[in-house]
């Protein structure tokens, strides 16, 4: 399971490296209540069990994201490898400065003298009627910032390998976990392994169109591609896995072959990941394009609460299918 894979990656890194520490709200739980600790393991139970194994390196924090996420950044600039858990990515607003102006810029501003190997894990995604402040996927905002690395895993195997790499990476990494993926089952090797940042996963190769998708949208793209296959339209599906660094070569070389590009993204459509990929592709391999690239994103609105509105908000396989067909016209 996706969430177990994340737990395993953290546990293995904490076993291998004593400088790895973990902090967040209720990452153990029951602090100060007099009851058995580790009652929560984070809001969705991802870090459960870690407190008992590493009681001196797992810290429950007061609700004060600026201070404890900032402390993760500071500790990481001072010899630790801190993993800060931010319950929902929507709360990034509370601690924005510590990532945007601090973690991201230390190395550059300090003339290359600092490393800040912090990893911020956070939950993204719509689909649970959690409304406008608990459903966003704001990885584009952080991709925008030079100095930060952004990781958006789409399956359990990748999550474990990418998180392992992120923890050991010397730059600040933000790791975005989609809540709808947590309980998806998949065989994951028990041992330690890494997946490099900036290396896309090509799920399937086709000749007609290139679909780029991230996180939960990889599954949506795959479903659309299966449907299109029946009509003889074959697609390449590329999961970049990380938005920064970005494996543009994988995208450009695929578009050179297919001549068509569709990007599926759950983040906001303006100045976002999908727009970025399309802009780069247009600039670099314009002459290979046979038709206008298409973005499949939510409408430019906050995430609504009611189920019917939320379902309409999230990019669907049907919309991806239609976008691919449009590039074929």
Partner 1 sequence: MSGHMSKEDLLKAYRKMRQIREFEERIHTEFATGEIPGFVHLYAGEEAVAVGFCEHLNDKDRISSTHRGHGHCIAKGVDIMGMMAEIYGRKTGTCGGKGGSMHIADLDVGMLGANGIVGAGPPLACGAGLASKLRKDGSVSVVFFGDGAANQGTNFESMNLAVTWDLPVVFVLENNGYAESTSPKYTARVGTENIADRARGFGMPAITVDGNDFFAVYEAAGEAIERARKGGGPAFVECKTLRYYGHFEGDAQTYRPKGEVKEARANNDPLKRFAAVVVAADLIDSAELEKIDKEVLAQIDGAVTAAKAAPEPDPESLFTDVYVSY
Ligand X SMILES: Cc1ncc(C[n+]2csc(CCOP(=O)(O)OP(=O)(O)O)c2C)c(N)n1
Site membership for partner 1, residue 178 (CB under 8 A): no
Q: Least Å distance between CB 59 and partner 1?
A: 11
Q: Least Å distance between CB 47 and ligand X?
A: 15
Among 15, 16, 52, 66, binds partner 1 (CB under 8 A): 66
Site membership for ligand X, residue 94 (CB under 6 A): yes
Site membership for partner 1, residue 39 (CB under 8 A): yes
Partner that binds at residue 274, options ligand X, partner 1, none, CB closer than 5 to 8 Å by kind: none
With CB atoms as reference, the residue minimizing the distance to ligand X is 91
- The yes-or-no answer on residue 52 being catalytic is no
Site membership for ligand X, residue 65 (CB under 6 A): yes
Site membership for ligand X, residue 4 (CB under 6 A): no
Q: Least Å distance between CB 313 and partner 1?
A: 6
Candidates 134, 178, 192, 248; catalytic one: 134
Q: Least Å distance between CB 221 and partner 1?
A: 22
Q: Least Å distance between CB 285 and partner 1?
A: 34
Across the beta sheet with 294-296, the strand order is: 201-204, 235-239, 209-213, 261-264, 294-296
CB atoms within 10 A of CB 44: 15
Site membership for ligand X, residue 87 (CB under 6 A): yes
Choice between 73 and 220, CB closer to ligand X: 73
Site for ligand X in 12-51 (CB under 6 A): 25
Query: Which residues form the interface with partner 1 (CB under 8 A)?
Result: 25-26, 29-36, 39-40, 43, 60, 62-64, 66-67, 90-91, 93-94, 128-134, 299-302, 304-309, 312-313
């Amino acid at each position: 399971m996706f969430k177990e894979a994340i737990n395993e990656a953290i546990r293995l890194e904490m076993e291998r490296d004593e400088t790895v520490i973990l902090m967040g709200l209720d990452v153990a739980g029951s602090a100060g209540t007099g009851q058995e600790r580790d009652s929560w393991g984070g809001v969705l139970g991802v870090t459960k069990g870690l407190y008992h194994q590493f009681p001196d390196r797992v810290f429950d924090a007061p609700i004060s994201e600026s201070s404890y996420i900032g402390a993760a950044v500071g500790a990481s600039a001072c010899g630790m490898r801190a993993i800060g858990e931010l319950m929902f990515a929507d709360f990034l607003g509370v601690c924005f400065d510590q990532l945007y102006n601090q973690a991201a810029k230390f190395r550059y501003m300090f003339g290359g003298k600092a490393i800040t190997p912090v990893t911020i894990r956070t939950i993204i995604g719509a689909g649970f009627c959690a409304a406008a402040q608990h459903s966003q996927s704001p990885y584009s905002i952080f991709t925008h910032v030079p100095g930060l690395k952004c990781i958006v895993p789409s399956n359990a195997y990748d999550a474990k390998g990418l998180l392992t790499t992120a923890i050991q990476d010397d730059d600040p990494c933000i790791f975005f976990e989609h809540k709808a993926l947590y309980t998806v089952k998949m065989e994951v090797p028990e041992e330690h392994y890494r997946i490099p940042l900036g290396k896309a996963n090509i799920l399937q190769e086709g000749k007609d169109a290139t679909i780029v998708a991230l996180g939960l949208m990889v599954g949506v793209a795959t479903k659309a591609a299966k449907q299109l296959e029946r009509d003889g339209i074959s697609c390449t599906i590329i999961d970049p896995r990380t938005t920064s660094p970005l494996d543009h070569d994988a995208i450009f070389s695929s578009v050179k072959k297919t001549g068509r590009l569709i990007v599926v993204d759950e983040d906001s459509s303006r100045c976002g990941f999908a727009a970025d990929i399309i802009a780069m592709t247009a600039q670099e391999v314009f002459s290979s394009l046979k038709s206008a690239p298409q973005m499949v994103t939510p409408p430019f609105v906050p995430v609504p609460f009611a189920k019917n509105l939320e379902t309409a908000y999230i990019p669907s396989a049907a919309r991806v299918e239609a976008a691919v067909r449009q590039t074929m016209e």
